[in-house]
Amino acid sequence: MAAPLRSRHPIFARCFATLAPLAETAGAKGVRQELLAGLEGRVLEIGGGTGANLRHYPPAVEEVTVVEPEGYLRRGCQRAARGARARVEVLAAWAERLPLPDSSFDAAVSSLVLCSVTDQGLALAELMRVLRPGGELRFYEHVRSSGAVGQLQDTLDLPWGLIAGGCHLNRDTVAAITAAGFVIAEMRNVPPRLVGIPLPGPRMMLGRASRP
């Protein structure tokens, strides 16, 4: 039987909403702009959080549908939607069970979400279903590193998940994207930075893949 989907992370949600703006000033803004560059038409964003991506969608994006299961974050996203250029609809739903028709989006976006979904395989199958053939999945996701860092991520995975809203440090998200049938067109490691200096540790994969 499939694992139950979880959406109640009230303490994490408030901490995340408070701390996320600091990440924007520390360089996340540039990554978000690169993540979304060149998109157009109808876009689905899963796990939109407080809507930090919304103001970075390029003008050719007409409509963004955001799926956000956590109530506190969803309300933040609805507030952010008011300042967005595109039409935005924010839905209370999970990536694993999208209440959306087949082949209805030109692109989908996942930033720091595939680490936290309950079932990556199901979420990616749903993304594949709702994207039109040739549609793109844009992703920015932290993944398991190799060597000692990877072993540390394995050790910290359980306690980290308890404080970080079910986030997993050691998922092989790139392999999961490929296993779901997406074809990766471009991808690079964009490590987090502190005062402009790249931090060693988690690999942060920024890329695009398409539905064949």
Ligand X SMILES: C[S@@+](CC[C@H](N)C(=O)[O-])C[C@H]1O[C@@H](n2cnc3c(N)ncnc32)[C@H](O)[C@@H]1O
User: Could you list the residues that contact ligand X (CB under 6 A)?
Assistant: 5, 16, 20, 46-49, 52, 67-70, 73, 94-96, 111-113, 116-118, 165
CB closer to ligand X, 96 vs 136: 96
Smallest distance, Å, CB 70 to ligand X? Answer: 4
Cβ(183)–Cβ(212) below 8 Å: yes
| Strand ranges (E), 39-129 | 41-46, 61-67, 87-91, 105-111
Smallest distance, Å, CB 175 to ligand X? Answer: 19
CB closer to ligand X, 10 vs 151: 10
Cβ(115)–Cβ(168) below 8 Å: yes
β-strands 61-67, 41-46 pairing: parallel
CB closer to ligand X, 48 vs 207: 48
Q: Return the structure tokens found at 24.
A: 């924007």
In the complex, residue closest to ligand X by CB: 49
Residue 29 CB contacts under 8 Å (≥ 6 apart), including other chains: 56
CB closer to ligand X, 73 vs 108: 73
